[in-house]
């Protein structure tokens, strides 16, 4: 599929897809005339990037994560990815605890 279709399917701008490519997060094939060709796998990769960005990973954090996943065998993830995910889960847990406390405090006023 062309970049415009990938953009529509993922709800990610063409400009951002090109940026992901520049940063090494996506590697499309090229047609003989030079057009980028994307596959369903690229849709999955973009969806993973979106999830990682949503939980606070930076593009610089995401690049090694995506590389680790590409190199993973038999569903195993590399230690670097496990460590990053573990740290992120801890941060999310702390954020949830803070939000619960904030909700409890605010609820006293209504």
The rounded distance, in Å, linking the Cα atoms of 53 and 77 is: 19
Average confidence (pLDDT) over 46-62: 88
Q: Is the pLDDT of residue 7 over 80?
A: yes
pLDDT of 18 reads: 96
Domain spans of the chain, in order of start:
3-107
Q: What angle do CA 92, 95, 101 make, to 5 degrees?
A: 145
Q: What is the pLDDT of residues 18-33, one digit of tens each?
A: 999 999 889 899 999 9
d(C-alpha 84, C-alpha 88), whole Å: 6
What's the CATH class of domain 3-107? mainly alpha
Q: What is the DSSP letter of 25?
A: S
pLDDT band for position 72 (50/70/90)? low
pTM confidence score: 0.71
Q: What is the mean pLDDT of residues 69-76?
A: 63
Q: What's the confidence (pLDDT) of residue 67?
A: 77
With 0-12 / 13-18 / 19 or more C-beta atoms within 10 angstroms meaning exposed / middle / buried, residue 63 is middle
pLDDT at 90 over 80: yes
Rounded Cα gap, residues 97 and 53, in angstroms: 21
> What percent of the chain has a predicted confidence (pLDDT) above 90?
55
Output the pLDDT for position 74.
58
* Neighbouring residues of 34: CB distance < 8 A, sequence distance ≥ 6: none
């Amino acid at each position: 599929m062309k970049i415009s279709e990938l953009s529509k399917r993922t709800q990610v701008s063409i400009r951002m897809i090109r940026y992901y490519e520049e940063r090494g997060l996506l590697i499309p094939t090229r047609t003989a005339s030079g057009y980028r060709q994307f596959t369903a796998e690229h849709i999955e990769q973009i969806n993973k990037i979106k999830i990682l960005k949503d939980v606070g990973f930076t593009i610089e954090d995401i690049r090694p994560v995506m590389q680790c996943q590409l190199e993973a065998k038999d569903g195993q993830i590399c230690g670097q990815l496990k460590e990053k995910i573990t740290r992120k889960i801890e941060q999310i847990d702390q954020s949830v605890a803070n939000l619960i406390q904030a909700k409890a405090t605010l609820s006293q006023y209504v």
